[in-house]
Chain A
Amino acid sequence: MAPLPLLPPRLPRTGFRLALLAGLALALMPAALPPQLQQAAPQLAGAQAQQKLLRISAIPDQKPETLNRLYPLLANELSRSLGVPVKYVPVTDYTAAVSAFRRGDLDLVWFGALTGVQARLQKPGAKVIAQRDIDASFQSFFIANTASGIKPIANQKGLSVLKGKRFTFGSESSTSGRLMPQYFLGQAGVRLTDFAGGAPGFSSSHDATIALVQSGAYQAGVVNEEVWQSSLSSGKTDPKKVIVIWRTPGYANYHWLAQPNLDQRFGKGFTTRLQSTFLNLRASNPKQAQILDLFGAKRFIPAPPRLYDSIEKVGREIGKIR
């Protein structure tokens, strides 16, 4: 073994001071920014301290910029109409949103059908508040990069062209980006191991799926209709590079889910008022129109919980609900 020099040369004092200063600056950094931390960090405070604050959140299915534009607007509107402080708490992961709802760290969450069912199973008594007009019969679009040579297909059986291709889903827990597409793929005889490399990718969000397929990193993927339409109309998507090859049949998707104890915390009838606030959002009111527009909806409608029975069945078949 190499003998180490016993006493390394003493460093000049200036070097040491500089290093000490740098280290101190480094270490103090987190302490220096409490105010920003309060809003930006995704961490949630304990439930007890938040008796009178309605904490809303959403699964991170789109770019954070989109979510950060939409939800503070909605929080303002809810706060105005309900007369309680409302705070948007961003979460970074579908599973984390479900866990936080189970723990009572979030009061009202915009879930996908699958995560909504997962959350209701984990928190019995949770109330389905509303869905958008487009959610009762929602579709996923299978998309492909034009250079891949994959052509639009006439029917579901045609999905078998995806065998051997590089294919990406959205998030593992996404209803429109994974669960229902996997179900339709399975009906067409395509298993997850049939994709190139023996496994599909999980891009984490619909925006990411479009970007990855358009870039050619994946030859094909599947996204939700709403994000596809908005990406197309905003010019982010190049229709020469990425095309829709098949639209799935409709299924029930996104909905608002509320904690069972809102009436106890905010007063009798709060849950009903919350529900009617959503159902009464109208495009004739400019502020509300902006919210509806960002949600890609004309209005919110009631959502009977049994709408998600078939999603639960598919979830159990695929193993995402146990």
Chain B
Amino acid sequence: MTAASAWSWRALRLAPPLLPLLPALVWLPVLLLLPGLSHGGGWDLIGQFAGAAFKPSLDPLVLSSAFTGLGVTVGIALLGWALSLVLGLVGGVLSSRTVWRTATGSALPAECIRRLLAVPRAVHELLWGLLLLQLLGLQPVVAVLAITIPYAALVARVVSDLLDALPTAGLEGLRLAGAPAGPALLTALGPALQPGVISYGGYRLECALRSATLLGVFGLGGLGTDLRLTLQSLQFRELWSGLWMLLLVMLVLEALLRVLRQRWGMPARFGLSRRSVGRGGREVVLGALLLLPLLVLVAVALGVNPLQLGQLQPLPAWTADWPAVAALPWPSLIGSTLALTLLAAALAVGSAPLLLLLMAPWPWGRALMQAIWALGRLWPPPLTALLLLFVLQPGVLTAALALGFHNLGILGRLLLEAEEAAPLQAEEALAAAGAGPRLALLYGRFSALARSYLAYGAYRADVILRETVVVGLVGAAGLGSLLLEALSSFAIDQLIALVAVYVVLTLMGEDLSDRLRRRLLAA
């Protein structure tokens, strides 16, 4: 190899801090395409929408309706979350290799349960909601279950991963000393598992609030319904009344969970793989005990009645026309869904560090960016998509921008949290040596975070694939829009096929993103 080619090869290898910025390159083609897509017909409306943020409607009727809706949304989120945690913990223990190996000597059942749990996880909560709506009718328990089912499967996976990653020396010691399997497992692994589970559990509550809002957008109760109706009838001032309330609740919840996480010494979301020792055990138990009567109260207030679960109604009579289902344009449907996923993921993963860098010198810019991110997290993607349609033509890119914005809000906040927790010394040294604020941030702090951030981004891409179904409203010719159409036509055969394709795609995506994540974290 000549010196020249060796040099060029080395130049091509990116420095780690630049890695997270790589996906942001997707903005180049996007910016090129945007002018062709925009029709500008509704800039007035966008202006009105933004202006209305400063003068939300204070009409008592609007406020009380928004408040009631918010109550329903928060209640649904709380119940779905609590149920999913309990079921998830059980599922997690049942799908842990360590547990089965200790109890029976073989890890095979764990593998089987793991595979089984992948199916409920692969179906988005919105789909669960719309399917359960057919079986159970319009009642609050539908939204609660729609959150519980996929979340429980997700929690189970995280719990079993955490369990299997714990060192087993203590467990083996106890077993050799003659302790039976159950008590040995509980003593050796229980306390070590607790911080990770509680930290992740708190994070799931934030997710549950977002999911409950989204379910409302599709008519399953709560504030989301008001948000969609007011947006679609262009009553922006009424819309913002609800939106500000929701934003307040979300920020309070996030702050509360952060405080508790720090107080109890739980790991941050990013560092879930890192060990930490929990503190404040008594408070944790007390909190859990306080939660119980609260949940019962919420269930009663919402009118959630477990007995109604018994009243399953069969699906409407349907005739299967499988040849017609097979004749759907599957390659283009799947292709555009995958394109949508990759585009949205690249936009979200790439933009967060890029924006942080750009805003590094200006504290007010950072504050504004954080506010916009908070809105992005909160504002359900289908509503962003509807808003974008005021000025852009429908299509994959419009849908990707909507999904990307939402996930940018989530990723950005996690990146910010991790950035704030990362040690300052390197950045301060660089700044002292005369590097600008952006370079100091880039090389001083991002370099340490780069790989774990990208690994998390890979996981997020997998979530985005599931989420593509919610922007079907935009009419981007993907699986999502066909699915919504099939639902309103009661085309059960198409519905089954579409859900099956979604499940297969998500499982493949999950596998791919797992591999990518392992490679990123191993390097």
Q: Which A residues fall within an 8 A CB radius of B? A: 1-8, 10-11, 15-16, 19-20, 22-23, 26-34, 36-38, 40-47, 63-64, 91-96, 98-100, 102-103, 105, 118, 121-122, 145, 166, 172-173, 196-205, 207-208, 211-212, 215-219, 319-322
Contacts and interface: CB of A to CB of B under 8 A. Distances in A.
B263 interface: yes
B232 A217 contact: no
B496 interface: no
B385 to A, nearest CB: 11
A96 B389 contact: no
Interface in B370-427: 389-391, 393-395, 418, 421-423
Nearest to B253: A26
B74 interface: yes
Nearest to A205: B232
Given A31-B298, A122-B490, A4 B303 contact: no
Contacts of A219: 41
Interface string B501-523: 00000000000000000000100
Given A36-B64, A43-B303, A91-B138, A211 B133 contact: no
B218 A4 contact: no
Given A22-B252, A22-B256, A96-B133, A199 B311 contact: no
B138 A96 contact: yes
Interface of B: 39, 41-42, 44-45, 64-65, 67-72, 74-75, 78, 133-134, 137-140, 218-219, 221, 225, 228-229, 232-234, 249, 252-253, 255-256, 259-260, 262-263, 265, 267-268, 271, 274, 276, 294, 297-298, 300-303, 305, 307-308, 311, 313, 316-319, 321, 389-391, 393-395, 418, 421-423, 445, 448-449, 451-452, 473, 475-477, 481, 484-485, 487-491, 521
A211 B234 contact: yes
Residue in A41, A95, A122, A320 whose Cβ sees the most chain B Cβ within 10 Å = A41
A30 B75 contact: yes
Nearest to A39: B68
15 contacts: A2-B449, A11-B263, A34-B300, A40-B65, A41-B303, A93-B218, A166-B393, A201-B475, A202-B473, A204-B228, A204-B232, A211-B234, A212-B42, A212-B390, A219-B41
A195 to B, nearest CB: 9
A216 B232 contact: no
Contact of A37 (B68, B233, B268): B68
Contact of B316 (A19, A122, A215): A122
Contact of A4 (B138, B228, B298, B421): B421
A320 B389 contact: no
B45 A100 contact: no
B239 to A, nearest CB: 13
Contacts of B134: 99
A44 B490 contact: no
Given A37-B301, A40-B68, 4 more contacts: A29-B71, A96-B133, A208-B234, A217-B41
B294 A37 contact: no
B395 A197 contact: yes
Nearest to B485: A172
Contact of B249 (A4, A26, A100, A196): A26
Contacts of B297: 28, 31
B219 A93 contact: yes
Contacts of A212: 42, 234, 390
Contacts of A173: 488
Given A34-B301, A122-B317, A44 B139 contact: yes
Nearest to A192: B475
B359 to A, nearest CB: 21
B301 A91 contact: no
B131 to A, nearest CB: 11
B68 A41 contact: yes
Contacts of B232: 203-205, 208
B238 to A, nearest CB: 10
Given A23-B253, A199-B477, A46 B305 contact: yes
A198 B68 CA distance: 39
A19 B489 contact: no
Given A23-B253, A26-B252, A322-B489, A100 B41 contact: no
B422 A2 contact: yes
A33 B68 contact: yes
B71 A43 contact: no
Contacts of B445: 2
B298 to A, nearest CB: 5
Contact of B140 (A32, A41, A199): A41
A223 to B, nearest CB: 13
Contacts of A319: 489, 491
